[in-house]
Chain A
Amino acid sequence: MSESGMSGITTHTISVLVENRPGALARVSGLFARRGYNIDSLAVGETEDRSISRMTIVVSVDGKPLEQVTKQLHKLVSVLRIAELPHDASIERELALIKVGVDAGRRAEVLEIVEIFRAKVVDVDAGALTVEATGTPGKVAALEELLRPYGIVEMARTGIVALGRGSIGLKAPKLRPVSIQDRGSRVVSA
């Protein structure tokens, strides 16, 4: 469910299904900042239903309950469903592009590391090569650590995308309209 770092800060992975409409990302990301929660990473993309996007949000929680921010998320009209994905019951993957500044002399050592991590080299020139790596955040971090001594020129990480294992998950709901007649619940009684 949650992962505690050495600092006592807990990270949670939240999967949020939102209507694929302009502004949905701003509504969700703004809410975290406003309520005092830090987003570690946020990845957005379409789901199996193109009218619905999935946001995978990794959030650091420092002493505050996660519950308050998920309740506030539920209040956003654009948000359809929310689930916290337990780290031990979900598939978490991240993609990283790491540009390493090596010349021909030390290139072989880097290639060996790349091989071990089942990453691949996607670009190379005289002074640098770019590695594409996919895996758990831990694996990507470990690769980064090993490549660091060779001189990382630039790095881009996608942030985590995640799905629950097996039957655990958060499927896009079937959208059904509500009759407008339900609206009239508030009447003047003064």
Chain B
Amino acid sequence: MNGASSLIKSLEAAGVDVVFGIPGGAILPAYDPLLESPIRHVLMRHEQGAGHAASGYGHVTGRPGVCMATSGPGATNLVTPIADAYMDSVPMVAITGQVPRRVIGNDAFQEADITGITLPITKHNYKVMDPEEIPEAIAEAFHIASTGRPGPVLVDIPKDVLQAETSFAWPESINLPGYRPTTKPNRKQIKAAADLIRRAERPVLYVGGGVLKARAAAELMVLAEAIGAPVVTTLMARGAFPDDHPLCLGMPGMHGNYAAVTAMQRSDLLITMCARFDDRVTGNLDTFAAGAKVIHADVDPAEIGKNRAVDVPIVGDAKSTIVELTKVVLHDNSSHGRPDFSSWVAETRAWSREHPISYTQSEDGPIKPQFVVDTLGQLTGGDAIVVTGVGQHQMWASQIMPVNKPYSFVTSGGLGTMGYAVPAALGAKVGRPDERVVAIDGDGCFQMTAQELATATIEKIAFTVCILNNSHLGMVKQWQELFYDHRLSEVHLPQVPDYVKLAEAYGGVGLRATDPSEVEATLDKALSIDDRPCVIDFRTDAEEMCFPMVPSGASNDDLILGPAGQTEVHRGFEAGAAAFGGQGA
């Protein structure tokens, strides 16, 4: 057996069922044994697509997504998705070919020092110089990528190592003395956290993406109901707590809704579960939730106290931490009674009712982007995996789409990678083929990775792409309108290409809606297509801006609400169910 066969056997042993990739010179040997392997290979059209597809797969399955590329340009094209996965803690393993050992460092054809390049954007990486070490490197890569704080791991293998004779033995143990993530939380800290919660008057559960990474959404529900405090879910945590739950306030931050932002600002205790006090959530740190004590639980100790001083730090896996904290909270509730946060909850719910996300769609006017998302949300009832790009459409998707199930909102948060949606939607559909997958994209984003529609057509991976086409780089335009005195610079994207024709050229279905009356029927038609990709070109109002908004660097107290709209978006948490508070007392 050669190194290449050992690599493929190793991937099989690691439980890999699909690889997103593109072959090329240095990785060629690995593609030969792939012919006999049960592993499905999805041939992408650009390595960036392969990386984002692996990320989409990782998001929805919780298992590391795998992408594969050749040396040099193949590897460097993976850099953006690797950086993206690193920022958003997505489990991913990237395999790259490298030039043969004897020419490494010689500026050989298609040589790039990819382990050097990805040093700061991988959780760890390997350059495998001995074929005997391939199984060990792959086993370690999957272990590192999927445990602790998940992240991308790159394994770079020179071509002659893939060609060399070797034997395959899957390691029974992993020897990583420098890698021992703390998963079990400290009991004393859990007790201290529970004590702070009992003494709080206005607690808020600040939930971050780590809860989803630990697959701990069900456990979070039990904790939230045991405490009875309002819950905010960050962009990376959408779906970790259902939007239609009476305690849910939705997304906080720069474009978060008023209730979520204000609840944090007025809170006297942030119960932080695996969030990282990102600047897009906190705004100006000095004025962020200034009166709040902070409990901060995270599996990564480096996140604790990084941006915000902490009263009770807890290092541990989200699932263990939530389970342990729930036990103590329930025990305290049963011996001392449940603290009554009902008036605080009622206050936050009143904010939700008073300041909902809203927009105005006139009958004859241009299509409002929010109207498209709102209609989509009503048609799917939240029963879809939503994937977004980055920009205004992403924020509208997060604000308006009802996300009631975990692992069903896939987006590029930390790095903010335009072009994420199409390949990530493809990867999500491959990971969970029985789910409906809908990408909400912008016209700027869409053009960055649209070529993966070819992959989708050929591989019969069916998903819907809703382009909120305002013929602009919308979020950049919004900033120029607001902060650069309306001086628009290089943000106009004239209507080229024709997205309907483009979708058809790629073998998919292309639809267009230009009038509000067409939106629902067009979406209905698109959602009925299940054998190929479908792209809808929604010609939306270019003047629409995304609100609420906290200007960059400003205080969250200075949230700009924007104009009141006639249509209020109700995802279920603002009204309806009686004030939460009866259970668990």
Contact = CB atoms under 8 A, between A and B. Distances in A.
A, B co-complexed: yes
A188 B63 contact: yes
Interface in A4-37: 18-19, 22-23, 26-27, 30-31, 34
B60 A190 contact: yes
Contacts of B173: 177-180
Contact of B301 (A74, A173, A179): A74
A79 interface: yes
Interface in B210-235: 214-215, 218
Contact of B62 (A18, A27, A71, A186): A186
Interface in B412-445: 432
A15 to B, nearest CB: 15
A77 B144 contact: yes
B172 A179 contact: yes
Contacts of B175: 175-178
B447 interface: no
Contact of B302 (A74, A80, A180, A186): A74
Contact of A180 (B174, B215, B218): B174
Contacts, number: 95
B127 A22 contact: yes
Nearest to A183: B143
Contacts of A189: 62, 215, 218
B120 A188 contact: no
Nearest to A71: B302
Given A19-B177, A27-B119, A186-B91, A180 B62 contact: no
A77 B127 CA distance: 14
| SS class, residues of chain B in contact with chain A | loop
A20 to B, nearest CB: 12
Contacts of A190: 60-62, 405-408, 432
A187 B62 contact: yes
Interface string B399-415: 00000011110000000
A67 interface: yes
Contact of B306 (A68, A75, A76, A180): A68
Contact of A75 (B300, B305, B406): B300
Contacts of A19: 177-178
Contacts of A23: 115, 119, 127
B123 interface: yes
Given A77-B176, A186-B62, A189-B218, A180 B171 contact: yes
B146 interface: yes
A67 B313 CA distance: 14
A179 B173 CA distance: 4
B353 to A, nearest CB: 32
Contacts of A31: 120
A82 to B, nearest CB: 10
Contacts of A185: 146-147, 183, 317
Nearest to B406: A190
B222 to A, nearest CB: 14
A78 interface: yes
A34 B120 contact: yes
What's the interface size class on B, roughly?
Answer: 35 or more
A14 B139 CA distance: 32
Given A187-B215, A190-B60, A30 B120 contact: yes
B171 A26 contact: no
A183 B142 contact: yes
Contacts of A180: 139, 143, 171-174
A158 interface: no
Contacts of B178: 18-19, 76-80
Interface in A30-81: 30-31, 34, 67-68, 71-72, 74-80
A157 B115 CA distance: 31
Contact of A26 (B119, B143, B183): B119
B218 A175 contact: no
Contacts of B62: 186-190
Interface in B132-152: 139, 142-144, 146-147, 150
Q: Which of A23, A77, A78, A176 has the most CB atoms of chain B within a 10 A radius of its CB? A: A77
B116 interface: yes
A75 B148 CA distance: 10
Contact of B177 (A26, A68, A176): A176
Nearest to B171: A180
A78 to B, nearest CB: 6
Given A77-B124, A77-B144, A78-B178, A186 B215 contact: yes
Nearest to A190: B407
A74 B177 CA distance: 12
Contacts of A68: 302, 306
A177 to B, nearest CB: 4
Q: Which of A31, A78, A180 has the most CB atoms of chain B within a 10 A radius of its CB? A: A180
A77 B119 contact: no
Q: Which of A31, A176, A185 has the most CB atoms of chain B within a 10 A radius of its CB? A: A185
B123 A77 contact: yes
A179 B119 CA distance: 27
Q: Which of B60, B91, B215, B407 has the most CB atoms of chain A within a 10 A radius of its CB? A: B215
Q: Which of B115, B123, B174 has the most CB atoms of chain A within a 10 A radius of its CB? A: B174
A185 B63 CA distance: 10
A72 B301 CA distance: 9
Nearest to B183: A185
A181 to B, nearest CB: 9
Contacts of B142: 183
Contacts of A176: 175, 177
Given A180-B172, A188-B62, A67 B305 contact: yes
Given A67-B305, A189-B62, A178 B432 contact: no
B554 to A, nearest CB: 24
A186 B146 contact: yes
Q: Which of A31, A78, A80, A190 has the most CB atoms of chain B within a 10 A radius of its CB? A: A190
Query: Which 8 pairs across A and B sit closest by C-beta, in order of nearness?
Result: A71-B302, A177-B173, A177-B175, A77-B124, A175-B177, A190-B407, A77-B179, A80-B178
Given A173-B177, A180-B172, A186-B63, 15 more contacts: A26-B119, A67-B305, A68-B306, A77-B124, A77-B178, A177-B173, A177-B174, A179-B172, A179-B173, A179-B174, A182-B147, A185-B146, A186-B62, A186-B91, A190-B408
10 contacts: A18-B178, A30-B119, A77-B178, A80-B177, A177-B173, A178-B176, A183-B174, A187-B62, A188-B62, A189-B215
Interface of A: 18-19, 22-23, 26-27, 30-31, 34, 67-68, 71-72, 74-80, 173, 175-180, 182-183, 185-190
